[in-house]
Structure 1
Amino acid sequence: MTQRAILCPRCRRLIGSEEKICSWCGASRSAPWWQFMNWTKGAMGGDWLVKAIITANILYFAVSLLLTAQSGGGGGFFGPGQTALFLLGATGTYPIDHFGRYWTLVSANYLHGGILHIIFNLMALKQIAPWVSNEFGTSRMFTIYTVGGVAGYVVSYMAGVPFTIGASAAVCSLIGSLLYYGKSRGGAYGSSVYREVSGWVISLFIFGLIFPGINNWGHGGGILGGIVAGALMGYNERRRENFVDHALALICCLMTLGALGWAVMGAISAN
């Protein structure tokens, strides 16, 4: 059966239907990594990935509630307790300095302190993530989300925040990447993006000043992380996603699954 024409996952150029080796970069179509990266690109695609991130947050929130119910340490109306949050990977100076839990810089991005907390964050994620995927590509969006979330909590840790959770640092990194995109692209569309996203940043700042308990350091660090990540990785109008972008997204995915899995196993053993 004749093979159909496909894009080489290494150089992202189209090769003929009869070619078994990419005429551009020499990669073999029969190589296992070729098949794997093609599968990864499809699995990390578009709306599927955004829904997967949202689902992961919801499931992890449910686990935190279940763990709270089992331990008997309530966290208020439909909210997990402090013990459950600590066991599942809340971050800050307390978990890191006293217990060496550096992996919590990843896991804290999937924890929430209450029903309103998770609803607001996931509503923002659902609105912003597809936009970033459209301008940067899906793999780069997930890398920005993961790395930017970690950057936000690193800044929060350096500022001395003792105990913190929430997807807002990662969501703010997506905002930061759009801020960079709008400023870098310029023109009517770029200027429009920059003005709209700047309004979000101002609103976040005001919101953080009015309401207590908001981790402004995490928000600011996330925005900064998103700007830097967006600048380093580039967006679609400058270059299309390539093998390296998909590989980085896969590494971020494995890192996230590893952190969450490690946290759940630790929480189960603690109980």
Structure 2
Amino acid sequence: MEAYIKNLIQNLYEHYGYSILEIGEINGLYTNWGVYKKTDSSIDVMFFCNLEGSYQLNIHEIETLARKHLQTDNIRLIQAIIDDRLKIESNENGELSVNQEIYQQCELILINNVDNKVLYFSEGLKDKVQELATIINYTNTSQNRAAKAERPIITYVLIGVNVLAYILTAYLSGNIVDSNINVLIFLGAKVNQLINQGEYYRFITCMFLHGGIIHLAFNMYALNSLGPLVEKIYGRTKYVFIYFLAGIISSIFSYIFSTGVSIGASGAIFGLLGAALVFAVKMKNSVGKGFMMNIVSVIAINLVMGFSIPNIDNFGHMGGLIGGVIASLFLFRR
């Protein structure tokens, strides 16, 4: 509620020429701040409260303070009651009325802050209500756009590509639990001998192949947990760059230091860990050292597990981590 009222006050000030009035702590007010604007006939003073506050409010205190501050008796008080319990109901005769009993002491505007609607206003306040309705509609539209923009679309796309690649692998392998090694090689696994023959595309294609349903599930769980954070911090374009650069460097490290067949998204995911680590170090004063230590501990645990479990491409993991750190150092903006 506080943010909702603050947004109304800020927009009335910025876009409609209102001035801000410090009312102070008066019993019943939701905020200590109101707005005022000079008209042809008076100075309109608008203040804000919720349902409970409207019953407790002493309008004369606000009137006295406003007259003293504005140095005029020619003021019009407007009470904006903002509450999600306010509704418009129809009685047996089809007449519309507000579902709550309102103690009206001055000019009145009723707003439902969840439905984002002005439900009632006193006669003569049409211009004020149009201003408020414009602000409410604009804010609601902006919030919807912001919510859509914040969805980790790239992470979902990457997960989708990995899952589709696994479905194809499972179909060709004839087994949904484990992948056939020959199918993986056919689809683009990292194989040093084939890369030596010029099949460099394998540095990328191996990032989207997995050796089994469990391998896929672990990596997609990690990507879904970490990806949205990195995508939000760096933005979608930089996120894609970090992911692919880390994945490619992971493949190169595996090519240089390991002769075995290598597959999986874990190298790119280690790159995202590196990106999160750069953010944590750069912003340690804001996010706290605890966040940085969490990232470090996750990296350390995964590396230790990698060295403890056979058939894990640890060089690929380290390469991805280094690639993510390098890319993030260049791309990060405070």
- When normalised by structure 2's length, the TM-score is 0.53
Question: Quick one: distance in 2 between partners of 1:216 and 1:92?
Answer: 16
Question: Quick one: distance in 2 between partners of 1:89 and 1:155?
Answer: 17
Residue equivalent to 1:29? none
- Give a deviation string over 1:36-60, Cα, whole Å, max 9, x none: xxxxxxx997422211111110110
Residues 160 and 64 of structure 1, relative CA distance in 2, 3 Å threshold: same
1:85 to 181, 184, 187: 184
| Secondary structure of residue in 2 paired with 1:180 | helix
| Aligned AA (1:85) | L
Question: Quick one: distance in 1 between partners of 2:193 and 2:210?
Answer: 18
Residue equivalent to 1:142? 240
| Secondary structure of residue in 2 paired with 1:213 | coil
Question: Quick one: distance in 1 between partners of 2:302 and 2:316?
Answer: 11
2:226 to 128, 134, 138: 128
| Secondary structure of residue in 1 paired with 2:152 | helix
Question: Quick one: distance in 2 between partners of 1:166 and 1:190?
Answer: 32
The answer as to 2:160 corresponding to 1:55 is yes
Residue equivalent to 1:154? 252
Query: What aligned pairs does 1:1-271 form with structure 2 within 5 A after superposition?
Result: 46-69=151-174, 78-97=177-196, 99-235=197-333, 238=334
After the TM superposition, list the runs of 4 or more consecutive aligned residues in structure 1 that deviate by more than 6 angstroms.
none
| Aligned AA (1:96) | I
1:190 offset after TM fit, Å?
Answer: 4.8
8 A contact 2:185–2:191 mirrored in 1: no
- Give a deviation string over 1:128-167, Cα, whole Å, max 9, x none: 0001012111221111011110011111111133310000
1:100 offset after TM fit, Å?
Answer: 1.9
| Aligned AA (2:240) | F
Question: Quick one: distance in 2 between partners of 1:78 and 1:168?
Answer: 19
- Give a deviation string over 1:226-247, Cα, whole Å, max 9, x none: 0000001114xx3xxxxxxxxx
Question: Quick one: distance in 1 between partners of 2:208 and 2:149?
Answer: 18
> Quick check: which one's helix share is greater?
1
Equivalences, count: 187
Relative contact order (C-alpha < 8 Å, sep 6+): which is higher? Answer: 1
8 A contact 1:183–1:190 mirrored in 2: no
Max radius of gyration: which structure? 2
Gaps of 5+ in 2: 1-147
RMSD across aligned positions (CA): 1.8
Percent same amino acid at aligned positions? Answer: 27
Question: Quick one: distance in 1 between partners of 2:199 and 2:289?
Answer: 41
> Quick check: which one's strand share is greater?
2
